[in-house]
Amino acid sequence: MGFTVLAQSASYTDPDNSIVFQGYTDPVHSVTYGVVFPPLASNSTEFIGEIVAPIANAWVGLTLGGAMIDSLLLVAWPNGNSIVSSPRYASDYVQPVWYSGPTLTTLPSSKVNATHWKWVFRCQNCTVWNGGSIDLSGAPTWAWAVSTVPVVTPSDANSTFVEHTDFGFWGEIVANAHASASDYSTWASGGTVTPTSTTSVASSTTSSSATSTATGTPYDYVIVGAGPGGIITADRLSQAGKKVLLLERGGPSTGETGGTDNAGWCNGTEVTKFDVPGLFESMFTDPNSWYWCKDITVFAGCLLGGGTSINGALYWLPTDSDFSTANGWPSAWVNHQPYTAMLSARLPSTDHPSTDGQRYLEQSATVVAQLLAPQGYRNITINSDTNSKDSVYGNSAFDFIDGKRGGPVATYFQTAKARSNFVYKDYVMVSNVVRNGSTITGVQTNDTSLGPNGIVPLTKNGRVILSAGSYGSPRILFQSGIGPADMIAVVAGNAAAAARLPTPANYINLPVGENVSDNPSINLVFTHPTIDAYDNWADVWTDPRVADANQYLKDQSGVFAGASPKLNFWRSYTGTDNKQRHIQGTVRPGAASVNTTYPYNASEIFTITTYLSQGITSRGRIGINAALTGLPLVNPWFTDPVDKSTLITAINDLLTTVGDVPGLTLITPDNKTTIADYVNNYDPGTLDSNHWVGSNSIGADSTVGVVDVNTKVFGTDNLFIVDASIIPALPMGNPHGALMSMAEQAAAKILALAGGP
């Protein structure tokens, strides 16, 4: 397997001060880092640097040694209209302390305005530090860190601050960062020099033509996004002997992939936040949530594994109706069973993930079983009877393996990376495909090591597969001149992105971002005296119950071997429009929020989340704003009133037997609120289940779909999509099982399609 090569810096000129920097722009946070050194022959120990950051970045750090430990760290933040900065050093993963020796001088072109802050500085005695130095004639790895949380005392250069919310790396070509003695002297004193040329900084906004001739190392298949769709497709294509490059914009996740984000109680082990199933709830409360994409307004995973590395891992093998023509699939997709069998063979499900075979924290499942049984529900092993989804319940099933997160990262990715014809690179951001009319010739990245200007080329008859997710893949299409006119117009209004658009005559009008669906979800909170709410999962990251933590570390058994869901159920309804819809319920100890007039014991709360499932008729739309941030344009919940009335009926039915379960009390909503009022007044911001599908729907033609029966984008010769965005309608359960079965089938169809490499 090829190793990751970092994005490289490039020369650019700051128009405010005419300084020619060698720098890099992080494409996610849009922070630019630049430096320039005196002539190499001078053996100087100083440089001039700058950090230009959107105001959302409360503080920004630069590490000159490429790591936090034993490296000179420069940290800066805005304070009113001025910049505060300090040199720092850390000998362990603790708060960096002031480092004596360097002298930082803020230069006149520094500024703070309504949108950005800029720190331009002279750093003297900064090329050598305790334990390290800058290779002045090389291309060392440097690292950046950002935080959206302000420092404790902004006016104090020695202020403490919480851990960064994100970080990353790039290759700083210091060898190309040396100015003439006269220019450097002028800049260091705050003066300007008339530039001889202006070039652009290396980033996702590097200027290039969308019809550039791509050169560099070519691949048969370039797959953009290492989520479930991308990983499974990459594994199957490389298994077939194709030369495959898999690109991921984020970094490692689990321990076996190089991840290091572990809880304090896991120190000394290789298990990270993403390995331990019982840490799932902490994904949403961790102040250092670097793993969420920062340029998408809903939860999306920007790391190896994508959503499968940060979700609850509920794993439902697809029903036959999931891939039916009634659910929007072409008839050629109906026979999903061979591909689902392939998935199940690689990734079996379990409803007892603890390595000792026992189930833990099951009180809520026991109580809800008593609620459902009088209503005629049957208890089944859900993945052993996949087509039974009416008045059934069973223990929650997952794709955990040996008490740890499994999914495609632990299976398909491991077999792919063992092959010499497979290359994986992380921290690579793809902005658009490079195309000549209908033919894709490569992809535009922020990594100049992959080819001139960061363009990755294809072999003869090569193909590109987008697997960047329901928000990421549409954004790449928009920036490639593919999609509705209004979204391409947004791209055209962004100077950097506009430079990469093809000519308007080559735009491809497709319904990208439309037909979007997501499960509307309503939480019901109960109390029962037998429940252990597990402290509402609040302390699992920082202060877990000692016995449970020790049990997990010993042999991956116990409470932490499972995620919070404990039981699931389904029921079918016929709406007033005579269309069939399903509801799904998920039961877990604890609650995200409680709103009640009742006194209650917080240690006895549990939640039933009710979802409207397969058969939803409401649809929404997603797109981008002027900053190219992915976001919903039209929310997809309850645009058809029959969806809402069906869910209200289902919740009322569910509650009919509450009185049959001694000690069971519904506290949210309480008895002063009707279910209709509760649903009608439910905060739209919390209806989101984050099961987004349909934004690049498969369809019969370009009027109703974005991709054809082979997942090829209409109007193109060699561009494909394999991710949740092509799923035309929601499946019966949480979608990642159906998504992975779809990826198996898509890979087979792509390989079988004539004209490929």
Across the strands, what pairs with 442?
Answer: 434, 457
Contact yes or no for 697/706 (Cβ under 8 A)? yes
- pTM summary value: 0.80
Beta-bridge mates of residue 53: 117
**Which residue has tokens 């959503």?**
307
- In Å, how far are 21, 23, 48, 450, 598 from 202, measured between CA atoms? 11, 7, 18, 13, 58
What's the pLDDT score for residue 105? 94
> Which tokens in the block code for residue 16?
């405010």
CA atoms within 13 A on the CB side of 279: 27
Residue 245: φ, ψ to 5°: -115, 120
User: What is residue 628's DSSP assignment?
Assistant: -
User: Within 10 Å of residue 222's Cβ, how many Cβ atoms?
Assistant: 28
Q: How far apart are CA 74 and CA 87, in angstroms?
A: 5
> Tell me, what's the pLDDT at 215?
59
User: Please, how many CA atoms are within 13 Å of residue 630, restricted to the half-sphere of its CB?
Assistant: 27
Q: Shortest CA distance to 85 belongs to which of 168, 31, 158?
A: 158
- CA–CA distance, 432 with 635 (Å, rounded to integer): 26
The three-point CA angle 420-425-428 to 5° equals 155
Half-sphere exposure of 326 (CA within 13 A, CB side): 12
If phi > 0 it is left, if psi is from -120 to 50 it is alpha, else beta; for residue 582 that is: beta
Q: Which of 720, 717, 721, 739 is nearest to 730 (CA)?
A: 739
The DSSP bridge partners found for residue 292 are 301
Count the alpha carbons within 13 Å of 25 in the hemisphere toward its beta carbon: 21
Cis peptide before 636 (omega within 30 of 0): no
Q: In whole angstroms, what is the distance from residue 122 CA to residue 44 CA? A: 13
Respond yes or no: is residue 736 known to be catalytic: no
**C-alpha span between 507 and 700 (Å, rounded):** 20
Task: Count, in order, helices (H) and strands (E) of the chain.
Answer: 13, 31
Residues of the chain with confidence (pLDDT) below 70:
1-6, 192-215
Pairwise CA distance, residues 414 & 305, whole Å: 12
Q: Which burial class, exposed, middle or buried, applies to 15 when counting CB atoms under 10 A from its CB (0-12, 13-18, 19+)?
A: exposed
Closest CA to 472 of 718, 713, 224: 224
Query: Which domains, and CATH codes, for the chain?
Result: 10-188 (2.60.40.1210), 209-350+397-518+619-637+692-757 (3.50.50.60), 359-396+520-612+639-686 (3.30.410.10)
The CA distance from 145 to 53, in Å, is 12
Asked if residues 631 and 625 have their Cβ atoms less than 8 Å apart, the reply is yes
Quote the pLDDT of residue 199: 36
Residue 287 DSSP symbol: S
Secondary structure of residue 367 in the 3-state scheme: helix
| Terminal C-alpha separation, the chain | 20
**pLDDT value for 536:** 95
Q: Which residue has the tokens 């008839």?
A: 331
Alpha carbon separation from 11 to 34, 179, 180, 329 (Å, rounded)? 9, 11, 15, 49
Largest Cα separation within the chain, whole Å, is 87
Per annotation, catalytic residue among 29, 164, 582, 691: 691
Written as six digits, the tokens of 293 are: 């994409």
- In the block, tokens 């009185």 appear at 659
Instruction: List the beta strands (DSSP E) in 297-407.
Output: 378-379, 392-395
Q: Percent helix, strand, coil in the chain (nearest 5)?
A: 25, 25, 50
DSSP letters of 27-47? TTTTEEEEEEBS-GGGT-S-E
What pLDDT score does 389 carry? 98
